[in-house]
Structure 1
Amino acid sequence: MKKNLTLFKIFSIVTAISLLLSTSSNVFAESVKTNVVPVLSGFSSRVFAQGTSSGTKQPDDITTMGGNIFIGLQNGVGSDGAASSSGQTQSTIQEYDQAGNSIASWNITGKCDGLTADTANNRLIATVNEDGNSSMYIITPSAAGAQQVQHITYKAAAGQTLPAGGTDSIAIQNGNIYISASAPQADSKGNFTTAALFQAVINPDNTATLTPVLMDNATANDATPGAAAGSKVTLNMSDPDSNNIVPAESPKYAGQVVLDDQGDSKLIFTDKIGTPNQINTSLPIGNQINDIVWATSTQGTLYVTDTADNKIYAITGNFTKGTAFVAAPNDSGVGGFVGTIDLTSGIITPFAAGMKSPHGLLFVPSNSSVQAPPLTGAIPTVGSLTSKVFAQGTSSGTKQPDDITTMGGNIFIGLQNGVGSDGAAASSGQTQSTIQEYDQAGNSIASWNITGKCDGLTADTANNRLIATVNEDGNSSMYIITPSAAGAQQVQHIIYKAVAGQTLPAGGTDSIAIQNGNIYISASNPQADSKGNFTTAALFQAVINPDNTATLTPVLMDNATANDATPGATAGAKVTLNMSDPDSNKIVPAESSKYAGQVVLDDQGDSKLIFIDKIGTPNQVNTCLPIGDQIDDMAWATSTQGTLYVTDTADNKVYAITGNFTKGTAFVAAPNDSGVGGFVGTIDLTSGIITPVAFGMKSPHGLLFVPQTQQAPTNTTSQTQQAPTNTATQTQQSPTNTTTQTQQAPTAATQTVAKSALKGTLPQTGSTLDTTVFVIAGVILIAVGLLIIFKKKIVDGLWTIFKKKTVIE
């Protein structure tokens, strides 16, 4: 009995300490609770697993077999197999269960770029060294120890040669193995003419015979939106990368092999591959991507490897079956996000952001329903940024918010009301836009109507007035709105006239910027000449005359000469512009890291920014920066605290984003017809790369940053013409979920999703409930253990106190 009591004492203490330590020592459990990325409303994210800073790291390709997850970690090895800075020459294939627990691992020499499951043979196939010295490995987890890893070397099919570059991704269909041929070498004319995709046959002598099934210069049907039916293109693939089998659930290209020509932003779909009837189809897409997968069920988990951040994320929610997802790494034009892709238009829409460099994707279906977070009116944002709906239009009245400005502490927004781009009446008969004034709580203060579609709106604060342009595509003019003037004088219509020797634009006018009293207006919708060149004005300086006219003088032409700011361009290299779509313009503030004080013009359709120094002088200098996407507006954070306002024209809302800003950060808005659309991002003014920071919008257009020092105190007066949207805090909470999924083990006993509306729809899975339960249980067990150990002393002490009390009484 005494021995049993001692054992129980030891057990109680050890158990209690173990329970307490388990709340902080389990890497995966802690990650689940604290590390998430923002995802669209109705989905939640968690860290599934992560590498270490000094050991296994850089997760890349990912696959599943036997209900478990397998990930290739590259460990810093070079793309041709060169040793890492630490001397590491091997990658690691890591097996996890679906709770993120490590099960087994295997090392293979080289940098693992491709990894897939050959489920029919219960084995994994991996490729190494995408840029040279490439080979293959077979990993059979069920084999005897020494037989689990086999090294396979390549040999060319008869009459063929091995690739000069390397091999990368692997896909298997009906027992046929397809491997992409990466890093091809161009010929003397700059053309790529070697194999882009091989069929591999693994031989008994540990070799694999590679037979080309798609060439870099193959002929393909042109799936470019608007292309003539049956038109052909000759491919010139410079960067074949990932490949996959399009599942039956996809709305297009089901059953075909898809190859991602990453650097050229194209997807190549191959039907009847390897047969005389093979058909290739080329779809230009909105961005460079690294991987593509499909949701094959409404319930399941989308896994994402973030190579640069050393993490693997798991995203759950209610998926739409057949949705295609793509991963955009950090060197893409728009980088650091996972998006959905429209397989007709090629447009990509951010779905999850806040990652450093997502690479590999895997969707694992489930038969069990997932409790998704509730939908909310806010939008998901990255990092410390938070969002709320500031104001919104109505379905039948004032609607389609576009440009936005501030004056006197209030916010002014141009609502286009469905009016056509040349001033044509809306379907409702409406021919006027509305300029709406709000206080900074989103309450409606006043409004003014102007005839035409309002495209440009800015504050001329020196003269306490607003300037608006109408009709970006034709029949264009200007309005001045002076809120402090007498009623009939508040709105003045201004007609354009050309400066001597010039003509008015054939298109229209759009955005307005003011610097040192000079008014600059972009000349939108230019007309090309007979050779397809654009040679008219891109930007005017406007002088407003007493007779309600404005004289327009060109200060930048569509075909101006500019310094080439393309990364890697020779210093001092010049380019001749051919701007087809001058759009928004702004003054770059002093806080910007580059181009401070210059005028910037967005050549939207050509994905370029034109920076103009010493504008309108003989010493004017133009600089052209190619950027990663078509954008509609720009704004800079001029303070660490403030509000970034975003107008979502298609969704009839205006959002307010707050948080800790980095002074000088440039923000851009990408509307829904951009290559990557429906988001606001930051832009690197050296590389032109854009990174999403707020998404889930239909078509963001106008941007405005108001520093906190300019923000008026909020009030609670009711809004005129506006639904109340300025609630300070919203909370979203989903019921806990303890259902076990088929193919997916639960990662925590309870998951709670809670976030204020100021966090948009950034779900944070995990809960403090687990920790609380562990702590309470631990305290109770420690107390019981101490009671048992010191029972006699405690009883004697209490008896002594009782006796003393009795004597006193």
Structure 2
Amino acid sequence: MPFPALSRTRACLLVAGIAATTAVAGAALPAAATTSSPAPAHSSFSVRSFPAVGAETGPDDITRLGDSIYVTFQNGVGPMGEGAPSGATASTIQQYSLAGVAGRSWSVTGKVDGLTADPEHHRLLLTANEDGNSSFLTLDPTRSTAPTRYAYQGLTHGGGTDAISVSHGSIIVSASNPTVPNGPAAYRVALQGTNAVLSPVLFDNSVGTSANTATAGKPVQLALTDPDSNTIVPRSSARFGGSFMLDSQGDQQLLFLNPSVRAGAGHGIQVLSVAQPLDDTAFATASRRTLWATDPTHNAVDEITGPFTPGEAVSTITPDSGPTSLARLGLTDGSLTPIPGLGSVTPKGLLFTSAAHGEDQGDQDDQ
């Protein structure tokens, strides 16, 4: 089966400082079958770009489980599960090998916004519909069974759910699109029978302290309107190591707190203000310095290699107008520095992982 070619537009965008490859879709994971061209001498990064499979569109969240990468393609489905203009009512979870070769896929009703690995139980965790009509799902990629769907109990902020993090067996989801004043900004999830039972982790009006150098230690009264992405900061990070990080995108604030502490028990929330709205943030570690990024503009998944350093944080900037971009995030002052050579990548979801097979299991904790 011949390899599908990148579109002419994508190929032209990748000429300046970026290497491109293509991959073939199949029902199983064959041996690596990609080609790449070296980046120009002035570029210190290279990018391999793997196209969507078939009619899949809108790649978003990305995670690794075992030796596979998994990506959610939202296929134009609306934020409350509304049908797309194409008639699609389901998202697609697409598997890739570490060489970027497409494998199995699963159809999931609704717009899948949250996707992460739960390596302890060798499963994927998903949330559907970020604005409302939301539900929680689990998927065992080793079985042919459909994802298991759970109904929420205790969802009190009025909206839906988005990104997912796992820390030492504890599952935390973002409380997106709040419509109730001062409701939870994130929930802890307990799966009980057919229900996903929620308990608040923090609230939209919690009080924190500033983590920016210029205002460090000053109290910050939160008034969150847009809880969105989240992650667990690797313990090796020079700052915020081991913290749960919640991005309130429209408020341009990153919140860092102990993931094991219950709401109202003295979180010690630290608030890092940033100059532009952010989507995903990923942290490089000593072993995880290959950056994978979903790119909905080009309907592709990119593998980026280059001089990422341990402890470095990389974010997706989502301006009010114009394309998204990659930037280094300053963990002391919230600064955002564009990364030379990666201007053609228009990212959304981000994942730092190792390039080696079997070296890491998921993307949450760096022990």
Counterpart CA distance in 1 for 2:113 and 2:291 is 20
Aligned twin of 1:602: 247
Aligned twin of 2:77: 419
Change in 2 beyond 3 A, CA 1:467/1:43: closer
Measured after TM superposition, the shift of residue 614 of structure 1 is: 5.3
Measured after TM superposition, the shift of residue 683 of structure 1 is: 0.4
- Asked if structure 2 preserves the Cα contact closer than 8 Å seen for 1:647 and 1:654, the reply is yes
Measured after TM superposition, the shift of residue 640 of structure 1 is: 5.8
Aligned twin of 1:627: 274
Aligned twin of 1:494: 150
Counterpart CA distance in 1 for 2:343 and 2:40 is 6
Greater helix content: 1
Please tell me whether residue 696 in structure 1 is matched to residue 352 in structure 2: no
Counterpart CA distance in 2 for 1:552 and 1:632 is 24
1:442 counterpart (100, 107, 114): 100
Aligned twin of 1:33: none
- Asked if structure 1 preserves the Cα contact closer than 8 Å seen for 2:288 and 2:352, the reply is no
| Residues 251-303 of structure 1: CA deviation (Å, up to 9, x unaligned) | xxxxxxxxxxxxxxxxxxxxxxxxxxxxxxxxxxxxxxxxxxxxxxxxxxxxx
Counterpart CA distance in 1 for 2:41 and 2:276 is 19
Please tell me whether residue 524 in structure 1 is matched to residue 182 in structure 2: no
Aligned twin of 2:362: none
Measured after TM superposition, the shift of residue 495 of structure 1 is: 0.8
1:670 counterpart (317, 320, 323): 317
Counterpart CA distance in 1 for 2:175 and 2:256 is 16
Counterpart CA distance in 1 for 2:65 and 2:156 is 30
Measured after TM superposition, the shift of residue 678 of structure 1 is: 2.0
Query: Relative contact order (alpha carbons < 8 A, sep ≥ 6): 1 or 2 greater?
Result: 2
SS in 2 for 1:418: coil
Please tell me whether residue 465 in structure 1 is matched to residue 123 in structure 2: yes
Counterpart CA distance in 2 for 1:556 and 1:685 is 21
Measured after TM superposition, the shift of residue 521 of structure 1 is: 0.2
Aligned twin of 1:648: 295
SS in 1 for 2:178: coil
- Asked if structure 1 preserves the Cα contact closer than 8 Å seen for 2:153 and 2:196, the reply is yes
Measured after TM superposition, the shift of residue 440 of structure 1 is: 1.0
Change in 2 beyond 3 A, CA 1:381/1:565: farther
Counterpart CA distance in 2 for 1:566 and 1:658 is 30
Which runs of no fewer than 5 residues in structure 2 stay unpaired? 1-11, 18-35, 360-367
Task: Determine what percentage of the aligned residue pairs are the same residue.
Answer: 37
- Asked if structure 2 preserves the Cα contact closer than 8 Å seen for 1:562 and 1:575, the reply is yes
| Amino acid of the structure 2 residue aligned with 1:470 | A
Measured after TM superposition, the shift of residue 604 of structure 1 is: 0.4
Counterpart CA distance in 2 for 1:675 and 1:429 is 28
Aligned twin of 1:153: none
| Amino acid of the structure 2 residue aligned with 1:521 | V
Show the 5 A alignment for 1:727-742. none
1:583 counterpart (223, 228, 243): 228
- Asked if structure 2 preserves the Cα contact closer than 8 Å seen for 1:477 and 1:496, the reply is yes
Change in 2 beyond 3 A, CA 1:588/1:381: farther
Whose Rg is larger? 1
Counterpart CA distance in 2 for 1:432 and 1:387 is 29
Counterpart CA distance in 2 for 1:508 and 1:625 is 24
Show the 5 A alignment for 1:203-214. none
Aligned twin of 1:556: 202
- Asked if structure 2 preserves the Cα contact closer than 8 Å seen for 1:526 and 1:536, the reply is yes
Measured after TM superposition, the shift of residue 628 of structure 1 is: 2.2
SS in 1 for 2:349: strand
| Amino acid of the structure 1 residue aligned with 2:172 | Y
- Asked if structure 1 preserves the Cα contact closer than 8 Å seen for 2:287 and 2:353, the reply is no
- Asked if structure 2 preserves the Cα contact closer than 8 Å seen for 1:459 and 1:466, the reply is yes
| Residues 192-223 of structure 1: CA deviation (Å, up to 9, x unaligned) | xxxxxxxxxxxxxxxxxxxxxxxxxxxxxxxx
2:136 counterpart (459, 469, 478): 478
Please tell me whether residue 679 in structure 1 is matched to residue 337 in structure 2: no
| Residues 307-326 of structure 1: CA deviation (Å, up to 9, x unaligned) | xxxxxxxxxxxxxxxxxxxx
| Residues 608-643 of structure 1: CA deviation (Å, up to 9, x unaligned) | 100012543424210111012111101111126642
| Residues 633-665 of structure 1: CA deviation (Å, up to 9, x unaligned) | 011111266420000123211111012321111
| Amino acid of the structure 2 residue aligned with 1:459 | A
Change in 2 beyond 3 A, CA 1:432/1:614: closer
Counterpart CA distance in 2 for 1:431 and 1:536 is 29
Counterpart CA distance in 2 for 1:710 and 1:448 is 23
- Asked if structure 1 preserves the Cα contact closer than 8 Å seen for 2:50 and 2:301, the reply is yes
Counterpart CA distance in 1 for 2:304 and 2:133 is 35
SS in 2 for 1:605: helix
Change in 2 beyond 3 A, CA 1:684/1:709: same
Counterpart CA distance in 2 for 1:380 and 1:473 is 43
- Asked if structure 1 preserves the Cα contact closer than 8 Å seen for 2:157 and 2:183, the reply is yes
What TM-score results when the alignment is normalised by the length of structure 2? 0.82
SS in 2 for 1:660: coil
Counterpart CA distance in 1 for 2:178 and 2:63 is 26
- Asked if structure 2 preserves the Cα contact closer than 8 Å seen for 1:384 and 1:659, the reply is yes
Counterpart CA distance in 1 for 2:125 and 2:274 is 29
| Amino acid of the structure 1 residue aligned with 2:309 | T
| Amino acid of the structure 2 residue aligned with 1:436 | Q
1:536 counterpart (183, 199, 205): 183
Measured after TM superposition, the shift of residue 567 of structure 1 is: 2.8
- Asked if structure 1 preserves the Cα contact closer than 8 Å seen for 2:327 and 2:336, the reply is yes
Change in 2 beyond 3 A, CA 1:577/1:586: same
Aligned twin of 1:60: none
Measured after TM superposition, the shift of residue 399 of structure 1 is: 1.2
- Asked if structure 2 preserves the Cα contact closer than 8 Å seen for 1:639 and 1:661, the reply is no
Aligned twin of 2:47: 387
SS in 1 for 2:44: coil
Measured after TM superposition, the shift of residue 40 of structure 1 is: 6.5
Which runs of no fewer than 5 residues in structure 1 stay unpaired? 1-38, 45-375, 529-533, 713-809
- Asked if structure 1 preserves the Cα contact closer than 8 Å seen for 2:64 and 2:117, the reply is yes
- Asked if structure 1 preserves the Cα contact closer than 8 Å seen for 2:187 and 2:199, the reply is yes
Change in 2 beyond 3 A, CA 1:688/1:576: same
| Residues 69-111 of structure 1: CA deviation (Å, up to 9, x unaligned) | xxxxxxxxxxxxxxxxxxxxxxxxxxxxxxxxxxxxxxxxxxx
Counterpart CA distance in 2 for 1:401 and 1:377 is 24
| Amino acid of the structure 2 residue aligned with 1:695 | G
Change in 2 beyond 3 A, CA 1:522/1:377: farther
Counterpart CA distance in 1 for 2:53 and 2:261 is 39
SS in 2 for 1:472: coil
| Residues 526-563 of structure 1: CA deviation (Å, up to 9, x unaligned) | 126xxxxx411100000011x22100111110110001
Measured after TM superposition, the shift of residue 463 of structure 1 is: 0.2
| Amino acid of the structure 1 residue aligned with 2:345 | M
| Amino acid of the structure 2 residue aligned with 1:555 | V
Aligned twin of 2:161: 509
| Residues 321-345 of structure 1: CA deviation (Å, up to 9, x unaligned) | xxxxxxxxxxxxxxxxxxxxxxxxx
Please tell me whether residue 565 in structure 1 is matched to residue 228 in structure 2: no
- Asked if structure 1 preserves the Cα contact closer than 8 Å seen for 2:156 and 2:183, the reply is no
- Asked if structure 2 preserves the Cα contact closer than 8 Å seen for 1:415 and 1:436, the reply is yes
SS in 2 for 1:462: helix
Counterpart CA distance in 1 for 2:122 and 2:259 is 26
Measured after TM superposition, the shift of residue 680 of structure 1 is: 1.1
What TM-score results when the alignment is normalised by the length of structure 1? 0.38
Measured after TM superposition, the shift of residue 41 of structure 1 is: 5.8
Task: Return 628-637 or 607-616, whichever deviates more.
Answer: 607-616
Show the 5 A alignment for 1:277-292. none
- Asked if structure 2 preserves the Cα contact closer than 8 Å seen for 1:614 and 1:621, the reply is no
Aligned residue pair count: 326
Counterpart CA distance in 2 for 1:433 and 1:386 is 30
